[in-house]
Amino acid sequence: MKTDFRDIKQYIRRRIVAGDWAPGQLVPNEVDLAARFECARATVNRAMRELAEEGLVERRRKAGTRVRSTPLHRPRFEIPFVRKEVEALGSVYGYRLIDRAAGPAPDWLKAQFGLETDIRALHLVCLHLADSAPYQIEDRWISLAALPDAEDNDFSEIGPNEWLISVVPFSDAEISFSAIAADAEAAGRLGCAAGDALFLTERSTWWNGQAITYVRLISRPGHKVTARY
Amino acid sequence: MKTDFRDIKQYIRRRIVAGDWAPGQLVPNEVDLAARFECARATVNRAMRELAEEGLVERRRKAGTRVRSTPLHRPRFEIPFVRKEVEALGSVYGYRLIDRAAGPAPDWLKAQFGLETDIRALHLVCLHLADSAPYQIEDRWISLAALPDAEDNDFSEIGPNEWLISVVPFSDAEISFSAIAADAEAAGRLGCAAGDALFLTERSTWWNGQAITYVRLISRPGHKVTARY
DNA sequence: GGAGGCGATATGATCAGACATATCGCCGAT
DNA sequence: ATCGGCGATATGTCTGATCATATCGCCTCC
């Protein structure tokens, strides 16, 4: 049995969570730990690097490695696309296009995209269903400057999110969560009362520095996103 | 100039986002890439491992490395504690204890903690202020079975979150976000109208498998959490 | 006593080689 | 034709050594 870098991680983690090594305190250096575990420094380095990545310790050249004084909490949320999400609930997924219109992008959208110039955009409103009941409203704007092909697609069968993933699978994005009150329109589409508290996910997406799409996802009442860490 | 594992990452990332290597397709193996970059396989390995960690590629022994067919989106949210959050807004942080009561844990809390046995718990309700205006309600339950010391603290000056961080800095947690309507009580405390949509953060925390605390953080209207990826 | 320079030191990264291990796909037996 | 076993192969990890680099803290000079 060789020493595994995981053993070292676990050892260090245990000493930290047990309080043997207090927050702010220096952790033994790599050479000492390597000697203690009778392994190569590279192995200790891997262990420490991952612990730093996880936010448990903080490393600085020459200064050494120390236990974070205030632990970092950076939960990672898995964001599946709607169809997967619905299917994971054991429900049958359904999709309906509500509205589709191409035209000049409104000013707020240009601002959202960080643009000065006038561009055309495709505006789509769709409804995602779980077992025929409304699950989520997708209110999306696609830049026709960046993706002219979008205009050829009528989006009556497949949702714009799945189409986009097939066209630009990898991109940069900014995502945010908030709570909004249902307006009359959203309430009608989701089958809830106006004023109900709804969970809103907003996402702006770029590809090679160019704005691609902005979407507002309004989930049915009671929606919750969860992460463990 | 030596080859940097970052160069290799960037090269692979570029080929993928440019579409040269399509989703589902096999990426050249480590030995070939090492030869191509005239570097050690360990360097390529580091690059590929990190790309896998980032969700861009998927690796399996013998099967090789392939571009993820559906890209993984796992945004990481930074969750600072309230005081830092308020100060980051440039506001003056304030704290007020509203209610404090110790007693047997209610059934729903035992269920939340995954417990069968009866335990005592400390229930705290506090208000966090930004420039003297309500910012967030903290409704917290602390297991007195796990943290008997909590009962000695009156929490009139410092919030339970900061106290907890000083006592159990490192722990496992489950966090979730949702939207709720303000009830009369919350509306009164936050100075908004009953029925307003509010952003709710819930967190359950464990230490060494033992339930420590459960908290509901109800933020003032308009609250938003954001991440980039 | 304050500023600035410099050496010691801990981490950052790479290398070439080795062995471990999961598993894909072929081939032979049924 | 189908199943099971087995070898080839790509990744997983460790080693021990070397060079690079940020930076802490002391020492000197004014």
| pLDDT at residue A204, rounded to an integer | 95
Report how far residue B110's alpha carbon sits from residue B119's, in angstroms, rounded to the nearest whole number.
Answer: 8
Report, in angstroms and rounded to the nearest whole number, the Rg of chain B calculated over CA atoms.
24
Give how far B193 is from chain A: nearest CA, Å: 11
Q: Are A175 and B226 in contact (CB under 8 A)?
A: yes
The rounded Cα B140 to chain-centroid distance in angstroms is: 17
The answer to whether residue B228 neighbours chain A at the CB level (below 8 Å) is: yes
Report how far residue A112's alpha carbon sits from residue B189's, in angstroms, rounded to the nearest whole number.
Answer: 33
The answer to whether residue B173 neighbours chain A at the CB level (below 8 Å) is: yes
* pLDDT < 70 regions, chain B: 1-2
Report how far residue B65's alpha carbon sits from residue B49's, in angstroms, rounded to the nearest whole number.
Answer: 10
| pLDDT at residue A72, rounded to an integer | 82
Report how far residue B17's alpha carbon sits from residue A37's, in angstroms, rounded to the nearest whole number.
Answer: 42
| pLDDT at residue A70, rounded to an integer | 83
| pLDDT at residue B2, rounded to an integer | 65
Interface of A with B in 12-31 (CB under 8 A): 16-17, 23
| pLDDT at residue B169, rounded to an integer | 83
Amino acid in the structure at residue B28: P
User: Does residue A63 approach strand D to less than 7 Å at its CB?
Assistant: yes
Kindly list the domain boundaries of chain B, sorted by start residue.
5-67, 82-219
pTM: 0.90
Reading chain A (229 residues) residue by residue, the pLDDT tens digits are 668 999 999 999 999 988 899 999 999 999 999 999 999 999 999 999 999 999 999 999 999 999 998 878 889 998 888 999 999 999 999 999 999 999 999 999 999 988 989 999 999 999 999 999 999 999 999 999 999 999 999 999 999 999 998 888 888 899 999 999 999 999 999 999 999 999 999 999 999 889 999 999 999 999 999 998 8
Give how far A9 is from chain B: nearest CA, Å: 15
Write down the H helix ranges in B100-197: 107-113, 160-167, 184-190
Work out the burial of residue A154: count CB atoms within 10 Å of its CB; fewer than 13 is exposed, 13-18 middle, 19 or more buried. Answer: exposed
Amino acid in the structure at residue A121: A
For the structural domain made of A5-67, what CATH number should be given? Answer: 1.10.10.10
| pLDDT at residue B147, rounded to an integer | 95
Minimum Cα–Cα distance from A200: chain B residue: B179
Please tell me whether residue A12 adopts helix, strand or coil conformation: helix
Amino acid in the structure at residue A69: S
Count of other CB atoms within 10 angstroms of residue B220 = 21
| pLDDT at residue A80, rounded to an integer | 85
Instruction: List Cα–Cα distances, A88 to A49, A81, A84, A138, B7, in angstroms.
Output: 34, 11, 6, 19, 38
b/e sequence A18-41, b meaning 16+ C-beta within 10 Å? eeebebeeebbebeebbeebebee
| pLDDT at residue A73, rounded to an integer | 84
User: Does residue A66 approach strand D to less than 7 Å at its CB?
Assistant: no
| pLDDT at residue B177, rounded to an integer | 97
Domain B82-219 classification at class level: alpha beta
| pLDDT at residue A2, rounded to an integer | 66
| pLDDT at residue A1, rounded to an integer | 60
